[in-house]
Structure 1
Amino acid sequence: MDFSLTEEQKMLKTMVADFASKELEPIAAQIDEESRFPAESIPKMAGLGLPGVGFPEEYGGSGGGTTESCLVIEEICRVCAATGTILIASSGLTGIPIFMHGDEGQKKRFVPPIASGQVLGAFALTEAGAGSDPATMETTATRKDKGYVLNGSKIFITNGAEASIILVFASTDKSLRHKGISAFILEKDTPGFSVGKHENKMGIRGSSTTELAFEDCFVPEENRLGNEGDGFRIAINTIDASRVTVAAQALGIAQGAFDRALAYAKERQQFGQPIVNFQAIQWMLADMATQIDAARLLTYRAAFLQDQGQPFIK
């Protein structure tokens, strides 16, 4: 198997690495300490077409596939995991499922704003009592007129405070458990929608994680994604499709930690020499580098398989 990147992929990787070091790294520590959403970074990423990687150009995207998306996320997360998280939640967890499961009207209306970076998206599945078991979901969608009325709440929603397009999962028939879950595209200005508590996290604090509330939110029928009862399948397909880019996020964080550890080992002096000269430190660095390289091989093998339409998860 040829693991070499194409010239276009190399150029993309270099461009994102340069952007990340110049624009994201200088503010990464600050936004984490202040729990501040890096609003200034979004239009800068949009200017380079980064939110659109993985989307066809006809829908406002930049082209490419999972491999290109992983290259972008890894390089961003080497210096700022929060910014990478924002991008994954918007493009990967919101834009991609609309592109994969939406009708032509939905794709033309909602995908370009996300792919262009004009707006952010959020994926609203998790509830206080329904995390790993969506069948216990309490949020409901009741048919009314030519649409649905949403009532309920979600927790731990990435981009919840900033997203203009929210992909909401709600039960249209509780008796059917997971087969009664449907998916809806909710716009931020919908009456009855509100953002609740902002979580105070241990890390990745520049990315907001919030509660969302829905009180008699009317969603027109044309904003239902797929058919009634398709929600669980859409949610699982979306989570599966995003697993490789989430692995790239972890890979980028690990690579960034290694880069800093190596730089520190070269600078730190003990007994008249840098500690990188000590064999015990060299062993630690070698183990770290080996594990990161193994993770990179697994991540990009999975990305390659996903791009080829082959099974990529186990």
Structure 2
Amino acid sequence: MDFSISSDQRAMVGTVRELAQGEFRHSAHKWLDGTFPWENMRKLAEIGVMGMAVPEEYGGLGLSVLDTALVLEEIAKVDYVTAMALMGETGVQVRVISTYAPKEIKDHILPRVVSGECMLAVCMTEPDAGTDVKEYKTNTVIKGDRIVLNGTKTLISRAPEAEMFVVFTRVNGQPGREGIGCVLLGRDTPGFAVTGTFHTMGGENLHEIQFRDCELPLENLVIREDGFKKLLTAFNTQRCLNPSISLGLAEGAFDEAVAYVKQRKVLGKLIGDHQGVRWKLADMLKDIEAGRGLLYRACATANPFPDPFFAAVAKVFNNEMSIRVTSEALQLHGGVGFTDEYLVSRLYRGARYGSIGGGASETLRDLIGRTIVKNDATDGIMSLETY
């Protein structure tokens, strides 16, 4: 396997790193109160990053899932909130529109995503249904050439800032997973309202949204048939981008820890000169490199969406690895690591999100286990052909 990064990818990451380390690092504390990082998003639009997931015919770069993961990883090293905001513009909602929406909708929305004018939000979780999609109560009724949407979604990112919402919904009340479709809705639609705000430990805000008799043209029902299958297929991209943020958080925390133990003395001796501390650093680096390999391999399977098995493996490992590494990095900082003034504190809080969002670790472990048992590999080799 070739895990090398191309010269074009290195150049792209270098440009993003310069922006992240030079500017985002010093402003990241500003977003702890839930303020949306508009200024950072505009700067990312200026260098083309907002168009990574948008096809070239709509003014985007049409880059791979791996390219997107590399950029998110770099930003997450210093700024969790901005990385999460960017994931929303390069993840499932953009890819659902570019893959399934009618051309007229693509022409209207995608060029404005590239320029940073149009923020998107994906609406999946409901008060009584998260991972359990078959329990969705939000419903869309088809009435001739119109559709009417009713329901409630919760824990939604960017709701006050987004212009368009990609809403997964039941269609015509059809029960179970087979009844799931997807509707595209603008925030100016009568009956749409943001009805609640929840501040997270990572700094960003999440929101509750209600749809009350929201009437839309039929073409806004962008997924009607095989909606659940298409939802999961598109969502496998999120299961690579989410862990790319986890990987970046771990790397950023590791870098902070290494710098700190090289200059902080205890009992007249640098912390980094203690064998126990060096062993901690060795384990942290080992975990990071293992996570990187799993993630890049999963990204490489995308055509156009990643393989669900490898995406699940990468996500579970990197989410949990990030919690371990950021926790150890904070521990090595001692008391100062527990303060908001130190970057490692913010990275630690952000790391806790990964294993919850985009498919909980427990759910994905079950997916992995079912796949292993179903395929019954006897040679012990986990190959793409086997899984």
TM over 0.5: yes
Q: CA deviation at 1:307?
A: 5.3
Q: Which residue of 1 aligns with 2:244?
A: 248
CA contact (8 A) 2:237 2:306 kept: no
Q: CA deviation at 1:79?
A: 0.6
Change beyond 3 A, Cα 1:193–1:308? closer
Q: Which residue of 2 aligns with 1:140?
A: 139
Query: Aligned partners of 2:73, 2:212: CA distance in 1, in Å?
Result: 38
CA contact (8 A) 1:55 1:63 kept: yes
Once the two structures are superposed, what CA deviation does each residue of 1:272-294 show, in whole Å capped at 9, x if it has no partner?
23111111100001100110011
Identity between Structure 1 and Structure 2 (%): 34
Mark the runs of 5 or more structure 1 residues left unpaired by the alignment. none
Q: Which residue of 2 aligns with 1:209?
A: 206
Change beyond 3 A, Cα 1:310–1:50? closer
Letter in 1 for 2:291: A
Q: How does 1:77-156 map to 2 (within 5 A)?
A: 77-156=76-155
CA contact (8 A) 1:240 1:313 kept: no
Change beyond 3 A, Cα 1:291–1:168? same
Query: Aligned partners of 1:186, 1:309: CA distance in 2, in Å?
Result: 24
Letter in 1 for 2:65: T
Q: CA deviation at 1:10?
A: 0.5
Query: Aligned partners of 1:311, 1:144: CA distance in 2, in Å?
Result: 37
Instruction: Describe the SS at the equivalent of 1:267.
Output: coil
Instruction: Describe the SS at the equivalent of 2:128.
Output: coil
Aligned residues: 310
CA contact (8 A) 2:102 2:219 kept: no
TM-score after normalising by structure 1: 0.94
Instruction: Please list every run of at least 4 consecutive aligned residues from structure 1 whose deviation after the TM superposition is greater than 3 angstroms.
Output: 307-312
Q: Does 93-102 or 279-288 show the bigger shift?
A: 93-102
Letter in 2 for 1:195: V
Q: Does 166-175 or 78-87 show the bigger shift?
A: 166-175
Query: Aligned partners of 2:104, 2:309: CA distance in 1, in Å?
Result: 31
Indicate the RMSD between aligned Cα atoms, in angstroms.
Answer: 1.7
Letter in 2 for 1:166: F
Query: Aligned partners of 1:305, 1:292: CA distance in 2, in Å?
Result: 21
Q: Which residue of 2 aligns with 1:200?
A: 199
Q: Which residue of 1 aligns with 2:276?
A: 280
Q: Which residue of 2 aligns with 1:168?
A: 167
Task: Work out whether 1:222 is the aligned partner of 2:208.
Answer: no
Change beyond 3 A, Cα 1:175–1:144? closer
Instruction: Describe the SS at the equivalent of 1:199.
Output: strand
CA contact (8 A) 2:138 2:152 kept: yes
Letter in 2 for 1:56: P
Query: Aligned partners of 1:235, 1:199: CA distance in 2, in Å?
Result: 25
Letter in 1 for 2:37: P
Query: Aligned partners of 2:82, 2:305: CA distance in 1, in Å?
Result: 28
CA contact (8 A) 2:299 2:306 kept: no
User: In structure 2, which of residues 292, 297, 303 is the aligned counterpart of residue 296 of structure 1?
Assistant: 292
Q: CA deviation at 1:310?
A: 7.1
Letter in 1 for 2:180: I
Instruction: Describe the SS at the equivalent of 1:176.
Output: coil
TM-score after normalising by structure 2: 0.76
Letter in 1 for 2:152: S
Letter in 1 for 2:159: G
